[in-house]
Amino acid sequence: MPKRIRWRPNTPAVTLIVISPFIGEVLNGATRISYIFAFLPQLMVWGCGALIIREIAHRWRAGWPTIIMLGLTLSLVAEVLVLQTSVAPLPWLQMMSIPLSDRIWGVNWLWLAFMLGYETIWIVVVPILITELIFPQQRQEAWLRRRGLIVAAVVFTLGCAALWAIWTQTAVPIAFHQPKYWPPRSTLLAGVVAALLTIAAAYALRGVSSNADARRRAPSPWIVGIAAAAFAFPWWILIVLVFAPQPSLPIWLPLAAAPIWAWASYVVIARWSAAQGWNERHRWALAFASLAICMLMGYLGSSFWPKIDLIAKIVFNAIAVVWMLLLGRRVWQRS
């Protein structure tokens, strides 16, 4: 008889729903304490989205390649259809009179490239990895029954509608004093097609996994952590180029370098994870280093924040570091 999945505050499902937007939005500083009310629709979109991705991958018996492709799907939906920040003129740049150097054919290409990587890794992959470290016994189990998956999909859809209304119809015209922007239908259709293609790619990759290789031995968890930080740190160059354009730098150069860098990072981590001796300590080091870079780089531009927002971010980051260290101690003990 199948094991019944209970909905409790300490289940993996609830944990993932909470920590996904908390990592990607609050700890990073994208959602600050002065407008923390936006966290509720983010729970509905990012939290339920990450949970749905994890459950789909589990039902397909797929691995991280599928999760990454579905993470790209979630990012495309958010960036093109919901928040539309990759296809609408960025209000921050307009307020600061910064030229839109990366906007071509109605798309903010550098912003889109950054967000595709950021939301895939720090909204989906890292939260799933941390949740599995918290609940190691349920790593191979479903976290939702069919009814729960349907409920999560409904909540996700409602959250997308709410987030679209809050951002495009309220925040942009009222908080940023910018006119509402309605993307062309062709742009929205292209976003839908791109999302469908990434779903198809995710399904095609469901049988792909890194084969265990006993000939190699996994490096030390500390080396894995350092490498993860080194891989993550340069990704913020894309967002720096958005807010500090370099006219002498051709836009195609960072756009071509970004997928190459992302692929190289994946290949190295996938190769290590297939080696002999890879265990939970390596997963924790990978998650902790990625989280640390996310929090650290979130201070870019913090000099313009209200003091209460900066203090809140520092407090949240300190709590997250202590909590991750305590989780690391548990991981070391049981490993």
Confidence band (pLDDT; 50, 70, 90) for 212? low
For the chain, the C-alpha Rg in angstroms (whole number) is 20
| pLDDT tens-place string over residues 143-181 | 999 999 999 999 999 999 999 999 999 988 888 888 899
Q: Are the CB atoms for 228 and 282 separated by under 8 Å? A: no
Confidence band (pLDDT; 50, 70, 90) for 271? very high
Is the model's pLDDT at 97 over the cut of 80? no
Least confident of 50-54, 78-82, 212-216, 217-221: 212-216
Q: Where are the beta strands (DSSP E) in 34-153?
A: 103-104, 107-108
First vs last Cα of the chain: how many Å apart?
A: 30
What is the average pLDDT score of the chain? 91
Confidence band (pLDDT; 50, 70, 90) for 243? confident
Provide mean pLDDT across the span 235-258: 91
Confidence band (pLDDT; 50, 70, 90) for 92? confident
Q: Can you say whether the dihedral through the CA atoms of 113, 117, 122, 125 is positive or negative?
A: positive
Confidence band (pLDDT; 50, 70, 90) for 60? very high
Give 250-304 as a DSSP string.
-THHHHHHHHHHHHHHHHHHHHHHTEET--HHHHHHHHHHHHHHHHHHTTTTGGG
Output the six-digit token pair for 139: 């790593």
CA-CA distance, 243 to 304, in Å (whole number)?
13
Is the model's pLDDT at 120 over the cut of 70? yes
Output the six-digit token pair for 234: 């340069």
The residues near 14 (Cβ < 8 Å, ≥ 6 apart) are: 7, 8
Confidence band (pLDDT; 50, 70, 90) for 303? confident
CA-CA distance, 109 to 245, in Å (whole number)?
13
212 vs 184 pLDDT, higher one: 184
- The residue among 132, 277, 282, 261 whose CA lies nearest residue 212 is 277
CA-CA distance, 106 to 296, in Å (whole number)?
31
| pLDDT tens-place string over residues 172-192 | 888 888 889 999 999 999 999
Is the model's pLDDT at 273 over the cut of 60? yes
Least confident of 67-76, 97-106, 313-322: 97-106
Provide mean pLDDT across the span 38-44: 94
The residues near 27 (Cβ < 8 Å, ≥ 6 apart) are: 291, 294, 295, 298, 313, 316, 317, 320
Instruction: Give the DSSP H or E segment for 164.
Output: helix 146-164
Ordered by start, the domain boundaries in the chain are 12-334
Question: Model-level pTM?
Answer: 0.92
Output the six-digit token pair for 195: 């999302």
- The residue among 182, 166, 186 whose CA lies nearest residue 174 is 166
Partners of residue 19 on adjacent β-strands: none
- The residue among 187, 153, 18, 160 whose CA lies nearest residue 75 is 160
Partners of residue 213 on adjacent β-strands: 275
Phi-psi bin for 301: left (phi > 0), alpha (psi -120 to 50), beta? left
Partners of residue 276 on adjacent β-strands: 217
Is the model's pLDDT at 214 over the cut of 90? no
Question: Strand 107-108 vs strand 275-276: parallel, antiparallel, or unpaired?
Answer: unpaired
